Amino acid sequence: MDFRIADTFTDSLARLTGEEQKLVKTTAFDLQMNPMNPGMQLHRIEQSKDKHFWSARVSRDLRLIIHRTEASFLLCYAAHHDRAYRWAERRKLEVHPTTGAAQWVEIRERIEEIIVPSMPLPAGASTGTVPSPKRALFADRPDSELLAYGVPADWLTDVRSITDENELLSLADHLPSEAAEALLELATGGRPAFAMAAVTGASPFDHPDAQRRFRVMHDVEELERALDFPWDKWTIFLHPAQRQWVERSYSGPARIAGSAGTGKTIVALHRAVFLARSQPDNRVLLTTFSDTLAHALHDKLRRLISNQPRLAERLEVLSLNAIGQRLYQAQVGPARVASEDVLRELMQSAWDECAAKLNGMKFSPSFLFSEWEEMVDAWQLDRRESYRDIKRLGRKTRLSESQRAALWQVFEHMQRKLADRGLQTWAGLFTQLASAQSRRVAAGQAPAFDHVVVDEAQDLSVAQLRFLSALAGGAPNGLFFAGDLGQRIFQQPFSWKSLGVDVRGRSRTLHINYRTSHQIRIQADRLLGSEVSDVDGNSEERTGTVSVFNGPTPIIRLFKNEDQETHTVANWLRARISEGLPVRDMAVFVRADAQMDRARAATELAGIAYTVLDGRLTALTAMPGMAPDELNIATMHLAKGLEFRAVAVMACDDEVLPLQERIESIADKADLEEVYNTERHLLYVACTRARDWLLVTSVEPGSEFLQDLQDVRLAT
């Protein structure tokens, strides 16, 4: 008999209190050890249409719903008595007649009414006007096509009656996920692939669509790992659209793209594990551009392979700077990397020494430093001719040949000062390390890593990508990138192809958003364009993305003063707690440290304990049962890679978004576009950390970006 858990069980477990979860887990472990144990007080649920549903007593009021047959024992749902029984009475487990996948089918006759939000009347229309009948969205789709998408036969009539987006979203909550996703994609002009046909003789639970909701638990350790992180369903259930890119073989560098919430990080994690498991003699590096995100990746990987220590021995998770420093020490020698403060000090000194030779040219210190950082140092230019000829992609300020020649004197002084002090930059370190890798390959030496998987790849620097190309760029399945151009907030755009990393033909975009509600995604997407392209012409189409669940409409409010904002955010946080949301599943984000006091004030007024997240995300990486039940506060830059059930984005004021300091640092108005783009991306990142609830607030006049999110109204 196979012992399985369903994603509905892990979802229901996450809604219980900590003590209730412990009781349910104990019962689940006992059932796995002996599913037929008479002491478990199993009772058949007679009211259910599916006669295989049973109830197991957990406590006086808690019940665990089980689906039991001769071949399978399935944990389905856990809740208090009445809610648990209602869940079982409204569902049945069926094998789809066309796809052959096992799926939950909601009992149609028990859905008394699917509530559809009423649409506002068009401007100028009177209540007495009789509207013309709407055409059904799927009127021309034959039954065979709808069935091939996984729509249950019982629901064909309801699907055919859908006339608008609101009806579709309401109905989607009652359909199996593969059917809901296909219908949403059809409604938005896409062409969904038909569900994979069943393999003759195969178990309906082995179908790719069934594996996204049912999974066999082979032992107590595997079950314990699944139940320790009930909200992180990705550790157990992987979407078929993600799995195909995880397990594919690539002839060269490959990239997975997609908007926030489409599972790029999940694909990267599973790709790294897949490579380590399928290539038992190879070493795999899972990396990203910052220590903060590397710590978050390490925590997720620990959840994914905690019971496979031998796999972990060949799979390392480090930030690029950390692995770069380690390899440099081993292959080149000691490294002394200058801090940003030291670099700025040296640049000012170089400018002062050269000022008399610059014929009165005036450049701001911030422009001078960014020109050094993003062009001269990033590309490791060592001759005046190289600086004269380089294409300054991402740098909007035009410089004549004479201006470049004058500026080169400053940069040459800068390079000399670094050499005199025995210092180097990160760009210099990675460039030398790339040369070292090339020499190792030429000498026939084994690379430090056979495969490299990179998360948040849109924020890689020029030198980091040059290093990765030398490390594993020439091998099949050597480089795998996951990222979103719409979330680029740290780096200027540049050509990957020019550095030997060409992903054309091996770049795919994920379109299924399972983390962020439809309402949040729709509003956050208004901050960005419908399509984003990189310098090499690879495009990421964002309009085809669909979210597969509904949620409350995001709230965006403008206040007369900070006191009003503080009280509103505090009341909103208290409301989430009153609805049963754990405090640890909530977060408050602000633009920078200067606004942190406003986040603290709102949280303290709500009477909620909180943690200010640091670069190591310590509060989020504790072991199960040890993480503090505290709200998380952080700046928007630390939001990358995180997710919460409820998020408040505070202090989105004018001169905060975009940050006035960045505006004032611009030497030429032409450079404003890049600043505005990255500031938009930053707000997008913060808003899309929310799964179910989103609140965005500011004090008037408010950031101009809020008007893009929606028509903001002043709170009274």
Tally the C-alpha atoms within 13 A of residue 265's C-alpha that lie toward its C-beta: 23
Quote the tokens at residue 666. Answer: 């611009």
Per residue in 227-236, pLDDT tens?
877 667 777 7
Tell me: do 445 and 515 sit in the same domain.
Answer: yes
**pLDDT grade for 64, boundaries at 50, 70 and 90:** very high
Residue 431 counted as an annotated binding residue:
no
Instruction: In whole angstroms, give the CA distance from residue 152 to residue 160.
Output: 12
Number of domains within the chain: 4
Q: Are residues 585 and 689 in the same domain?
A: yes
pLDDT tens digits for range 311-346: 888 999 999 999 999 999 999 999 999 999 999 999
**CA dist., res. 699 & res. 379, Å (int):** 42
> Is 58 in the same domain as 163?
yes
* Residue 360 labelled as part of a binding site: no
Taking Cα atoms as reference points, which of 283, 214, 314, 221 lies closest to residue 3? 214
Residue 611: per-residue pLDDT: 92
Q: Is the pLDDT of residue 128 over 60?
A: no
Rounded mean pLDDT of the chain? 86
Assigned domain for 119 exists:
no
Q: Is the pTM of this model over 0.85?
A: no
The DSSP bridge partners found for residue 479 are: 452
HEC readout, 246-307? HCCCCCCCEEEECCCCCCHHHHHHHHHHHHHHHCCCCCEEEEECCHHHHHHHHHHHHHHHCC
- Tell me: pLDDT of 682 over 50: yes
Q: Which stretch of 65-74, 609-618, 620-629, 693-702 has the lowest confidence by average pLDDT? A: 620-629
Q: Quick one: tokens of 577?
A: 């707690």
User: Which residue, of 423, 453, 468, is where some domain finishes?
Assistant: 423
Q: What is the CATH number of the domain that holds 658?
A: 3.40.50.300
CB 697 within 8 A of CB 652: yes
Q: What is the mean pLDDT of residues 275-281?
A: 93
Do 369 and 454 lie in one domain? The reply is no
Tell me whether residue 117 is in a domain: no
Q: Confirm whether 123 is domain-assigned.
A: no
For residue 541, give the DSSP letter: E
Of the residues 381, 400, 423, the one at which a domain ends: 423
- Residue 264, annotated as binding a ligand: yes
pLDDT at residue number 666: 64
**Residue 363 and residue 313 in one domain:** no
Distance from C-alpha of 76 to C-alpha of 68, rounded to nearest angstrom? 10
The whole-number pLDDT of residue 381 equals 94
For residues 89 and 8, membership in a common domain is answered with: yes
261 is an annotated ligand-binding site residue: yes
- Ligand-binding annotation for 262, yes or no, is yes
pLDDT band at residue 120 under the 50/70/90 scheme: very low
Query: Considering 236, 252, 275, which residue would you say is the last residue of a domain?
Result: 236
Question: Cα–Cα distance between 6 and 12 in angstroms, integer?
Answer: 10
Cis status of the peptide bond prior to 334, with omega within 30 of 0? no
Residue 593 corresponds to which tokens in the numbers above? 């440290």
Q: What are the pLDDT digits (tens) for 15-24?
A: 888 899 999 9
DSSP H stretches of helix in 373-425? 384-389, 401-421
pLDDT at 370: 84
- Do 536 and 482 share a domain, yes or no? yes
Whether residue 631 is found in the same domain as residue 707: yes
**CATH number of the CATH domain containing 195:** 3.30.2310.20
Under the banding of pLDDT at 50, 70 and 90, the label for residue 153 is very high
Distance, CA of 283 to CA of 204 (rounded, Å): 35
Based on the fold, state whether residues 8 and 83 are members of the same structural domain.
yes
Q: How confident is the model over 284-301, as pLDDT tens digits? A: 999 998 888 898 899 889
Least confident of 197-201, 514-518, 660-664, 709-713: 709-713
Distance, in Å, from the CA atom of 561 to the CA atom of 428, rounded to the nearest integer, reads: 48
| Host domain of residue 516 | 238-332+428-541
- Sequence letter at residue 192: P
CB 559 within 8 A of CB 714: yes
CB 470 within 8 A of CB 327: no
Q: Is residue 546 part of a domain?
A: no
Instruction: Say yes or no to pLDDT of 7 above 70.
Output: yes
Q: Does some domain include residue 242?
A: yes
The reply to whether 539 sits in an annotated binding site is no
